[in-house]
Each structure stands twice: as structure tokens, then as C-alpha cells.
């Protein structure tokens, strides 16, 4: 069967299945999710066997250590995946929530109510935990999901999707409530993003090439999770010890994720105090430093940063460092090179905190804390389906409420419009 026909058939079945999940009660959805978590834990060995195939492929292709880390599913990560599903089950159900109700002078009672989006297609790369996170969020918010992961994680993704479908069948629900496209050819994406008759929203998560391709071809609304070229600015009134801790955490704790910092901006008046020891610690943690000329004048034996370095999302243990004249230069740098994802400042100045948070544009601004907290779970949203870097219809970590739309329910007793 032609790939277009395969994708069309999946989309049709997902649309049909959306009517089943939309009418499930909160209790039924929660019980389903809890069973899915149990099935994930009961199949740890199977998931790891399939994940091993993906890891072997990644090593054959000489992918970076950070990439392999994103791909890895060890026992702790699988149990964490299951726990994430349980936590979503415990969250309030947004579907059917009355946002507001108004009584009009003519007696009509008008209510704005949350309702599922319908069919959500998620296109993602390299992180198989997205399969479980995205599916469970869609289920709790009353949506069906079409998953299309990258070839690097195809075995892991299919294993997790198979387990989730097993739970759906156990509850006498259509397995197509969680659908997965197993063909990793890019033609599958091209076909998918044009099926506006069956799919309501496309959510791409991945590199710039994927995002741009989806945005260019899609005739369906797209909520994109773009790259994370994130910055941390150390102000002249920063606490040095705090700045050390935050910088190291934001860069090193997990460098291959979108909320890790890629550029460190340091006020010139504090640069000589903080950079020698900080860069020494970073290098001891295997971080490669690429600095501007002012940084190189302070610290020896580091590479010189090029223009490309300010634009780069490394997703690895590389950090660009720039000494700036003042906060205004730092803000201008972020405006020019930032990706509207996560930006941070370390300072004890209330004035500069207010200025930075008002003038820097990003999905989340972090004051005296690590950018690594830009995460749905850390924000108390449960697992996230992505971090939107656009402004419509949602921005930042996308939780349950962000996977709903609204409708109006109008109650009357015979009113007609004159």
C-alpha cells in the first residue's frame, strides 16, 4: 500500500476513535491510564530489548553521547515514564470544565466550556519517552493521538505504543485512540500534515529542519516546539556562588535537552571575579568553552567563539561565553540570537530583575534559578506534550488545559432573536 494511503487510513481511524475517548468519564480515563502505567512496568524487559536495537543503531551512526542519552531507556527512566502516567491520572480533568457562565438580560445562560481538540498528531525525534507522555496527556484531555517518531527510536516507540494499545483493547476501546506511523520516510510527514479533514492540530518536536518542513507543508494548525538556544546572564550584582551553581546545573545536568543553556553572558565588571574559577569547573566537567575575545583575555586555553556559535543549539557539552558591557547588551544579544524558549538572569538587583523579565521575550524567564526547570512536570502540569515557543494558542510547557479548546453552551427557555 502506498504510504499516502497508509497515513490516510490511520488518520481516518483516529478520527472515528476520537468520538469514543471524548465521551469517557474522568474515572474511566484515570483507570485506563493507571492500567497503562502498570503495563509499562510489566514490560520493562521488552521495552529495553527494543530500545537496545535503537541504541545499537545510534552507535553505528556515531551519534553524540548527548543524543544517545536522549534515546536511552534504562529501568529508572521506564519506571519514571510509568509514574508520569500515574501523575497525569491524578490531575484534574479539564474536559467539561465551565470556565465562566453569564446570564444575559433576555434570560439566556451562556457558558464557556472546555472540550477536547479532537485528533492531535505529534511528530518528534529521538526521545521515546515522548510516546508515553504525549499519549497519556492526549487521553486525559479526551483526544486521540497519531504518533510519528524518528527512525532513531522507531523500535522503542513502537514497543511503547503497542503496550498502550494493549490497555485500550483491555478496556474495550479502539486501539486507534493511540495510533503510530511505523514508516519513518519523510513522505509520511508530508502526507500527514495535509489531512485537515481528519486531524485538528499538528505538534512537531525536533530540530529546525523538521519544524520548518512541517510549517511549510502543513494546512493544519501547527503548535511547534522549536529549538532551545537558551541564555543565562550573570549581572554585576550577582551572587557568585549562586551563579556558579546555576550555570553548571543549566549546562551540565542534562546538556542534550532544549532547556539547557548554550550561551553564558557575563557583565564586564564581574567577569574577572567569576570566569576563571567557573570555567575551570566547567572544563573539569568536560565542557568545551568557546569565548569571545574579552573572555579569552581573562581565561587561557579556550576556543574563540565564531558568529555561528551564538546561533547554535549544541545539545552537548559546549558552552559559548560572552562578556557584555551592560544588561542592555545582554538583552540585545538575546533578542538577536535567542529562540524564545528559556532565558535566565542571576542578580540581586530588583530593578534589573524587573527590567530583564519585562524586556526579554521567551516562553519562560528564570530569575536566580536554572533554565532546566522549564518543564511541564516541574511546573506542576504533569508530563508535557512539548514546550511551545510561539504565542498562539499556547506558550511554554503544554499541559492538559493546553490540549483543549472551548465551546459555548447556551441554555434558554424559548428565546428568539428579534
- Report the pLDDT averaged over residues 370-384: 88
Closest by Cα among 193, 299, 309 to 262: 309
**Beta-sheet pairing, 230-234 with 261-267:** parallel
Strand ranges inside 11-108, DSSP E: 98-103
Map residue 93 onto helix, strand or coil: coil
Q: How far apart are CA 278 and CA 238, in angstroms?
A: 14
- In order, the DSSP letters of 308-338 are HHHH----SSEEEEEEESSHHHHHHHHHHH-
Tell me the sheet residues that pair with 40. Answer: none
Domain parsing of the chain, residue ranges: 3-223+398-411, 230-373
Query: How do residues 318-365 score in pLDDT, each as one tens digit?
Result: 999 999 999 999 999 999 999 999 999 999 999 999 999 999 999 999
pLDDT of residue 226: 76
Q: Find the helix or strand (DSSP H, E) in which 353 lies.
A: helix 350-359
pLDDT of residue 403: 96
Strand ranges inside 31-137, DSSP E: 98-103, 109-116, 119-124
Q: How far apart are CA 329 and CA 263, in angstroms?
A: 14
Residue 295 · residue 321 · CB < 8 Å = yes
pLDDT higher than 90, residue 170: yes
| pLDDT interval class at 393 (50, 70, 90) | confident
Q: Kindly report the CA angle at 339 between 62 and 225, in degrees rounded to 5?
A: 70
Fold of 3-223+398-411: Aldehyde Dehydrogenase; Chain A, domain 1 (3.40.605)
Q: Place domain 230-373 in its CATH homologous superfamily.
A: Aldehyde Dehydrogenase; Chain A, domain 2 (3.40.309.10)
Q: How far apart are CA 137 and CA 155, in angstroms?
A: 22
* Model pTM above 0.85: yes
Range of lowest pLDDT (12-26, 77-91, 137-151, 377-391):
377-391
| pLDDT interval class at 89 (50, 70, 90) | very high
| pLDDT interval class at 66 (50, 70, 90) | confident
Query: How do residues 196-223 score in pLDDT, each as one tens digit?
Result: 999 999 999 877 888 888 989 999 999 9
Range of lowest pLDDT (14-28, 263-277, 373-387):
373-387
Tell me the average pLDDT of the chain.
95
Q: How far apart are CA 265 and CA 103, in angstroms?
A: 53
pLDDT of residue 2: 92
| pLDDT interval class at 174 (50, 70, 90) | very high
- Report the pLDDT averaged over residues 295-311: 97
Residues 6+ apart with CB under 8 A from 208: 226, 227
- In order, the DSSP letters of 355-414 are HHHHH--SSEEEESS-GGG-STTTTTS-S-S-EE-S-SS--EE--SGGGEEEEEEEE-SS
Strand ranges inside 125-188, DSSP E: 144-148, 178-180
Map residue 293 onto helix, strand or coil: helix
Amino acid at each position: 500500500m502506498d504510504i499516502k494511503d497508509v497515513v490516510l487510513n490511520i488518520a481516518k481511524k483516529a478520527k472515528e476513535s476520537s468520538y469514543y475517548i471524548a465521551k469517557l468519564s474522568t474515572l474511566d480515563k484515570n483507570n485506563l491510564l493507571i492500567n497503562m502505567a502498570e503495563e509499562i512496568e510489566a514490560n520493562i524487559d521488552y521495552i529495553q530489548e527494543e530500545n537496545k536495537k535503537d541504541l545499537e543503531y545510534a552507535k553505528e551512526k556515531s551519534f553524540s553521547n548527548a543524543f544517545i542519552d536522549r534515546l536511552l531507556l534504562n529501568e529508572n527512566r521506564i519506571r519514571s515514564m510509568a509514574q508520569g502516567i500515574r501523575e497525569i491520572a491524578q490531575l484534574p480533568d479539564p474536559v467539561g470544565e465551565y470556565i465562566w457562565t453569564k446570564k444575559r438580560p433576555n434570560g439566556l445562560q451562556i457558558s464557556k466550556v472546555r472540550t477536547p481538540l479532537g485528533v492531535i498528531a505529534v511528530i518528534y525525534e529521538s526521545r521515546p519517552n515522548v510516546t508515553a507522555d504525549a499519549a497519556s496527556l492526549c487521553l486525559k484531555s479526551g483526544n486521540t493521538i497519531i504518533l510519528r517518531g524518528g527512525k532513531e527510536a522507531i523500535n522503542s516507540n513502537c514497543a511503547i505504543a503497542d503496550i498502550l494499545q494493549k490497555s485500550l483493547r483491555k478496556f474495550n476501546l479502539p486501539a486507534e485512540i493511540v495510533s503510530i506511523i511505523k514508516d519513518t520516510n519523510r513522505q509520511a510527514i508530508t502526507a500527514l500534515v495535509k489531512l485537515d479533514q481528519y486531524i485538528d492540530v499538528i505538534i512537531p518536536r525536533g530540530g529546525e529542519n523538521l519544524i520548518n518542513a512541517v510549517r511549510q507543508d502543513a494546512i493544519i494548525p501547527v503548535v511547534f516546539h522549536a529549538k532551545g538556544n537558551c541564555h543565562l546572564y550573570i549581572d554585576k550584582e550577582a551572587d557568585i556562588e549562586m551563579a556558579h551553581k546555576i550555570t553548571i546545573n543549566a549546562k551540565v545536568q542534562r546538556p542534550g535537552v532544549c532547556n539547557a543553556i548554550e550561551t553564558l553572558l557575563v557583565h564586564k565588571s564581574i567577569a574577572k571575579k567569576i570566569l576563571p574559577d567557573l570555567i575551570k569547573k566547567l572544563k573539569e566537567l568536560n565542557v568545551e568553552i568557546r569565548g569571545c575575545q574579552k573572555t579569552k583575555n581573562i581565561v587561557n586555553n579556550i576556543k574563540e567563539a565564531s558568529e555561528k556559535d551564538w546561533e547554535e543549539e549544541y545539545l552537548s557539552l559546549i558552552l559559548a561565553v560572552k562578556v557584555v558591557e551592560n544588561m542592555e547588551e545582554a538583552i540585545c544579544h538575546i533578542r538577536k540570537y535567542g529562540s524564545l524558549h528559556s532565558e535566565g538572569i542571576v542578580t540581586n538587583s530588583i530593578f534589573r530583575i524587573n527590567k530583564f523579565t519585562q524586556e526579554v521575550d521567551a516562553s519562560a524567564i528564570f530569575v536566580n534559578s536554572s533554565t532546566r526547570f522549564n518543564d511541564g512536570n516541574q511546573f506542576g502540569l504533569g508530563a508535557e506534550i512539548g514546550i511551545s515557543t510561539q504565542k498562539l494558542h499556547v506558550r511554554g510547557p503544554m499541559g492538559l488545559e493546553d490540549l483543549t479548546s472551548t465551546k459555548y453552551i447556551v441554555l434558554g427557555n424559548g428565546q428568539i432573536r428579534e
